[in-house]
Chain A
Amino acid sequence: MDPTTDKRSNILWKLQNIDRRILYLLLLVVVAIPVLWPVTMPNAIDPMSESLWKTVDATPPDKIILLSSTWSKATRGENGGQTRALLEHMMSRRIRFALSSFTAPGAQVILDIVREMAPRFDYVYGRDWVHLGFQASANNFVKGINADFRKTVRQDFVEKRPLDAFAVMEGVRSIDDVHMVIEISAAATHMVWMQFIKPGVLVGFCPTSVMAPESLPYYSSRQLAGVLWGAKGAYDYEQLNVRNGTGTYGMGRQYMAPLSAAFALVILSITIGNVAMFLSRPGIGRGGTAS
């Protein structure tokens, strides 16, 4: 065999079989650079994000929003940005809210974020917000609050007192007194709300990018009032907040550049693999035709 052809074939074979450790190292470098030296990425706001923003913004003063947090710090990059952007909007509009969670870590992470943000907006626990805590049985929680919050949740998560002790729950008896439910999640927990919530109650969903396609059928059929698609959704919401004077840029914008860099590497690696495969086909580069 011609040594030149042999060498070329060898390179092409290597390009089709790059060691996964090299790919992992490249990804680490590519993501680390925009994290260390932040870059602002341009963005086109998704209509699903805009729809959620508008629905939250239209909350009447006598109603609250129920924010369900079913995520842990594992998905902080996506769900953390979404939570902060949503809370900034709600707090700047002085919308009262209740927190709940279908997982134990979910109850804690959102509590930490609200506690950190509350002083900036003069939000007082019990007056402006309350935490209903971790709900072990998701289905029964949703079915229960459809009828009565107080019978379903005996005491709050923070002060362990009955819900009647909190001014924020004044006039909030059942799901009818909730303007909308927003599920911030790393899983397909929007299905619990889709299946068991009283018809007519608005539901928003903030999933991680991996889970977002699961929600598309429900947004399209208007069963979901809006969707924030992972970190991009957080960036969309931040942009809407900035545009309307209800918040600032945060984690969404910060993580958009590393995300784009990672996508670029994925596209590049796929292209390299395919080009190498194409060139190594019999006939290519030796005066023949591709088969």
Chain B
Amino acid sequence: MEGLGVAQGVWLWVAVVGVALASVAIIAALTRTPPRYRRRLLVTVCFVAGLFYALEFFLPTREVVSENGMVTRQNFLTPFIPTLISPLAEVLAAFILGLGLFSLLRIHSGNVAKRKPGYYNSVALILSAVVMLVIGLWTNWTESPPDGIRATYGYLFNGLYQNMDAAMFSLIAFFILSAAYRAFRIRSIEGSILMASALIVLLGLSFGVIATQGLPATGMASNLRIETWSSWVLGVVSLPALRAIDFGVGLGALAMGLRIWLGIERGALFGD
């Protein structure tokens, strides 16, 4: 971090272990805090964090010229975003990822230990996670990892993981077909309008252009081209509805954010 210096060598490890121990101590202390005080602490932290961004947004700014000659508008809080908030968020994200991995291993090792039905799936998951973790760390730990490790990483990440990911995504095409076949039945006027719009857009985005490609691209006759119809459905009929929904969603998010920030929201985050 700028101004704080960067630990090197042994001190880096001392810093890592020290921070890890301190974090464990903080987490343990928080876990033992009675729920009533924990909630107060949560509300306070939430308010202070929200206040930072609110003040950063509303406080007047002035032009600041950096040593590189760059001119930006800043107030006294702005420099903390890249130097403090960003690294803090990254550290938190890393911590939380560890928590997720712990949950995954706890549930699946439990499945194996209790020989629950399908426990062999859990064995496969744990093995995959451990192998990927070891190979991934080994590959990225050193400047030039052994060829065998690099090749294994390539095989696992590019050859296996990425293609399995692609296979899952490709399932959507099959599901779209079965869902469309089942759902698009003309049972009402609204259903007919919905289906007509869907057909126009589908045709306009694909082979439908063949039917009207003989028509001129400009002038009155261009209005009869299927892609013009498709653009009209998307841009004139569908777009205002999308905007209206987005306005509502944005307002909902603003209201909820406000309630959380001020600590007046109950329910999931702050309890009853």
Contact = CB atoms under 8 A, between A and B. Distances in A.
B206 A263 contact: yes
Contacts of A270: 180-181, 184, 195
Contacts of B68: 173
Contact of A213 (B174, B184, B234): B234
Interface stretch (A6-14, A53-61, A135-143, A237-245): A135-143
Interface string B58-98: 00000000101110101000110111011001100110000
Contacts of A151: 2, 82-83
Interface in A270-291: 270, 273-274, 277-278
A254 interface: no
A147 B81 contact: yes
B162 A229 contact: no
Interface residues of A, number: 59
A216 B185 CA distance: 27
Given A105-B162, A144-B82, A23 B207 contact: no
Interface stretch (B41-49, B236-244, B263-271): B236-244
A72 interface: yes
A173 B70 contact: yes
B120 interface: no
Contacts, number: 151
B210 A152 contact: no
A213 B89 CA distance: 31
Interface stretch (B14-22, B26-34, B144-152, B165-173): B165-173
A267 B242 contact: no
A201 interface: no
A213 B241 CA distance: 11
Interface in B178-236: 178, 180-182, 184-186, 195, 199, 202-203, 205-207, 209-210, 213, 217, 225, 227, 231, 234-235
A216 B239 contact: yes
A75 B195 CA distance: 27
A114 interface: no
Q: Most chain-B Cβ atoms within 10 A of its Cβ — which of A27, A265, A267?
A: A267
B86 to A, nearest CB: 4
Q: Interface extent on B, as a size class? A: 35 or more
A44 interface: yes
B191 to A, nearest CB: 9
Contact of B173 (A75, A232, A262): A262
B176 interface: yes
Contacts of B195: 270, 274
Contacts of A47: 231
B200 to A, nearest CB: 11
Interface string A227-266: 0010010000000000000000000000010011011111
A254 to B, nearest CB: 15
A1 interface: no
Contact of A73 (B166, B186, B217): B166
Contacts of B79: 147
Given A144-B81, A266-B176, A220 B239 contact: yes
Contacts of A229: 205
Contact of B177 (A27, A173, A274): A27
B181 A18 contact: yes
A73 B169 CA distance: 9
A37 interface: no
Given A73-B163, A151-B83, A270-B181, A41 B205 contact: no
Contacts of A144: 81-82, 86
A13 to B, nearest CB: 14
Contacts of B182: 273
A20 B180 CA distance: 11
A74 interface: yes
Contacts of B199: 267
Given A137-B90, A151-B83, A263-B205, A75 B70 contact: no
B235 A143 contact: no
Contact of A74 (B69, B165, B173, B202): B165
Interface in A17-54: 18, 20, 23-24, 27, 31, 41-44, 46-47
Interface in B85-142: 85-86, 89-90, 93-94
Interface in A169-224: 173-174, 176, 209-210, 213-214, 216-217, 220
Contacts of A147: 72, 74, 78-79, 81-82
A148 B82 contact: yes
A83 interface: no
Contacts of A143: 81-82, 86
Contact of A217 (B69, B81, B184, B243): B243
